[in-house]
Chain A
Amino acid sequence: MTKIYVSSVIPAPAAEVWKVVRDFNALPGWTPFVTESRIEQNAQADQIGCIRNFVLRDGGRIRERLLALSDYDLSCSYTILESPMAVENYIATLSLTPITDGNLTLAEWQADFDCAPEREAALTHQIGTGVFQAAFSALKQRFGR
């Protein structure tokens, strides 16, 4: 099992950041690497079990299922159903925690998955830096820093 953990401080209150990231269909709106996304079968984007079907800038298509969403904990978890990345048992959680000192947000994104051993380093970099950190950097910019 490979684990990835990325965290960052977003210069905005957690409730405001949550408004942006809780929408399971909103990746094109806040990440730099997704061009289009739709929720399959006309489901609601916050319905547990719904599937988002999105296209990366490089053309790759990914389907992910929402496993959990908590407006109390400000966190959501999802699993990859189909992707070009050759990962298995992929479960990721994105969560926000208020930083009361300054009214900021700690954003955390972690993932567990299985893959071929020789792919582990490349995938860890691709997902940790290219996806999670890139998305957090975009969020930081969006909120003004």
Chain B
Amino acid sequence: MVQIRQSTIIDAPIEDVWSILRDFNGHGRWHPAIAFSEIDGGEPVDAVGSVRHFRLADGGELREQLLALSDKDFRLSYCLLEAPLPLMNYVASIRLKPVTDGNATFWEWRSEFHPPAHRRDELVKLVTEDIYQAGFEAIRNLLRERPAAVPLQARSPVVAMTPSAAVPRIASTIFSGQAAKTRAILVERYGGPEVLQLKDIALPPPASNEVQIRHTVIGVNFIDVYCRTGYFDLLRPPGVPGMEAAGVIEAIGSEVSGLSAGDRVAYACPPVGAYCERRNMAPDLLVRLSDDIPDETAAASLLKGVSASFLLHDVHAVQPGSVVLIHAAAGGVGQLLVRWARHLGAMVIATVSSDDKARIVERLGAHHVIVYSRENFAEAVMRLTSGAGADVAYDAVGNDTFGGSLASLGIRGHLVSFGQASGPVGNWDIGRFASKSITISRPNYAHYTDTPAKLSPHVERFFAALRQGVVKIEPPRRYSLSNAGDAHRDLESRRTTGALVLVP
């Protein structure tokens, strides 16, 4: 038997490092050796017993089972079930410890296994260097490249704004003991879904420039997960997550005009704080709902719909006959992009990670669906377009797909990188883009939506598309507000395809 023990210091708080490592499926996003990973059977990513099935960059496929996970001890262990290499009886564990003088993290990765004698040195070197040391470096880079307040978005759109003045005010009133209270999901420390706890928090009357909204349905987006784990500091504990909701105005401040109590409204914007029964907020970015838009539809789709609108019309104006490549097409924004791009007359090539998702996207009307875990999508795009390539690629996957997206583009193609679910895209030499005169965009949700003048055309266009049936919003999966943790577990496990909402 050989024992391997590797350890390092990561210059980041233990909660930040743990929030990445505790996701048993997350290695597909950050470890350079891994091309693709998914959890078998849609088990939650932190469920002991769940099995991750992943593929290496060289094509080898492995399955590993989670044996233990402790958020208290910052520890998890797992074993290998299937591998293309004789790492017999491989059992490994990851353990974090805080370095209290300096806010850094000690990370130890150890394992034991029984290699055949003649391959012992080779396998020890592989595990030590290519898996553990490369993993240390990848996490170090990931945390270094992560700007504190600028979200790196994933399957739902990018919402980037510096925390507004309203955030500390919410936090500071939580324990102020005022008479008026509301039920809210309070994050008192960054962590897993279990930190989403229902609490009573203070709710003062709206300030002169605010309205008070009673939420009826609250949207759940992947950015809420990043707020919960501390990946983005849009939320600073203690705070209430959530960027999207629909509801009814119950009270208005003295300086507010144009809105009145009883109005039905929705919003999709910072500051965080939507996971609650009632909240106060500035009215600038509220959207008044007409009678034919149900609250549930608005809460499930406004953020995603507005994103799809500016991606297809402003960031790149999709024309009839355009060849459009859409990654993560079964995701929230992806589904809207597929339907909408098709409506605009484009030829839609969609990529997904599994056969189940492929069937969903086919039903949405994609002309071609590629399961990118199985097929080289860049080659497929070239084949489908007789070598002409795509006019535009919508890529929220990031690291795993960025290079392939570039390769899929035709002359004067446009790569729209609006998220990085699989990790940052790294450094690219733009000189090489001249070979096809490629244009790259990295849009930020806030820059297209942070004033009423910018936001309203997208809202109107999205609602019009809904009314005309251009896009459809499937009934979202509903959770009670108190079960927000379950909603996050399901979202993170990647077993969901449509939208998720919370009902107070």
Contacts and interface: CB of A to CB of B under 8 A. Distances in A.
Interface of A: 5-9, 97-102, 104, 106, 108, 133, 136-137
Interface string B263-303: 00000000000000000000000000000000000000000
Given A106-B97, A106-B99, A101 B133 contact: yes
A101 B99 contact: no
B6 A101 contact: yes
23 contacts: A6-B100, A7-B98, A7-B100, A7-B101, A8-B99, A8-B100, A9-B99, A97-B7, A97-B97, A97-B106, A98-B5, A99-B7, A100-B6, A100-B7, A100-B8, A101-B7, A102-B8, A104-B9, A106-B7, A133-B100, A133-B101, A136-B101, A137-B101
Interface in B1-29: 5-9
Interface string B84-105: 0000000000000111111010
Contacts of B99: 7-9, 106
B124 to A, nearest CB: 13
A108 B97 contact: yes
B104 A9 contact: yes
B136 interface: yes
A5 B5 contact: no
Contacts of A137: 101
Report the 10 A-B pairs with minimum CB-CB distance, sorted nearest first. A101-B8, A106-B106, A99-B7, A8-B101, A7-B100, A100-B6, A100-B7, A7-B99, A6-B100, A9-B9
B173 to A, nearest CB: 27
A6 B9 CA distance: 16
Interface residues of B, number: 16
A137 B100 CA distance: 12
Given A99-B106, A100-B7, 6 more contacts: A5-B98, A6-B100, A7-B98, A100-B5, A106-B7, A106-B97
Looking at A98, A106, A137, the one whose CB has the most chain B CB atoms below 10 A away is: A106
Interface of B: 5-9, 97-102, 104, 106, 108, 133, 136
A104 B101 CA distance: 15
Contacts of B97: 7, 97, 106, 108
Contacts of B102: 8-9
Nearest to A104: B9
B112 to A, nearest CB: 16
B274 to A, nearest CB: 36
A102 B133 CA distance: 12
Nearest to B133: A101
A112 B179 CA distance: 40
A56 to B, nearest CB: 22
B436 to A, nearest CB: 41
Nearest to A140: B101
Contacts of B106: 7, 9, 97, 99, 106
Contacts of B9: 9, 99, 101-102, 104, 106
A101 B10 CA distance: 10
B101 A98 contact: no
B350 to A, nearest CB: 42
A86 to B, nearest CB: 25
A81 to B, nearest CB: 27
A104 B108 CA distance: 13
Contacts of B133: 101
Nearest to B136: A101
A48 B136 CA distance: 38
Looking at B5, B6, B7, B98, the one whose CB has the most chain A CB atoms below 10 A away is: B7
A136 B102 CA distance: 13
Nearest to B128: A100
Given A97-B106, A101-B133, A101-B136, A6 B101 contact: yes
B100 A98 contact: no
A54 to B, nearest CB: 24
B103 to A, nearest CB: 11
Looking at B98, B100, B104, the one whose CB has the most chain A CB atoms below 10 A away is: B100
Contacts of A5: 98, 100
A74 B8 CA distance: 18
Contacts of B104: 9
Contacts of A97: 7, 97, 106, 108
B129 to A, nearest CB: 11
A63 B167 CA distance: 51
Contacts of A104: 9
Contacts of B98: 5, 7
A56 B97 CA distance: 30
B98 to A, nearest CB: 6
B44 to A, nearest CB: 30
Looking at A5, A98, A100, the one whose CB has the most chain B CB atoms below 10 A away is: A100
Nearest to B137: A101
A104 B7 CA distance: 10
A111 to B, nearest CB: 13
A8 to B, nearest CB: 5
A4 B108 CA distance: 22
A105 to B, nearest CB: 10
Contacts of B6: 100-101
B174 to A, nearest CB: 24
Nearest to B6: A100
Contacts of A108: 97
Contacts of B100: 5-8, 133
A45 to B, nearest CB: 27
B95 to A, nearest CB: 10
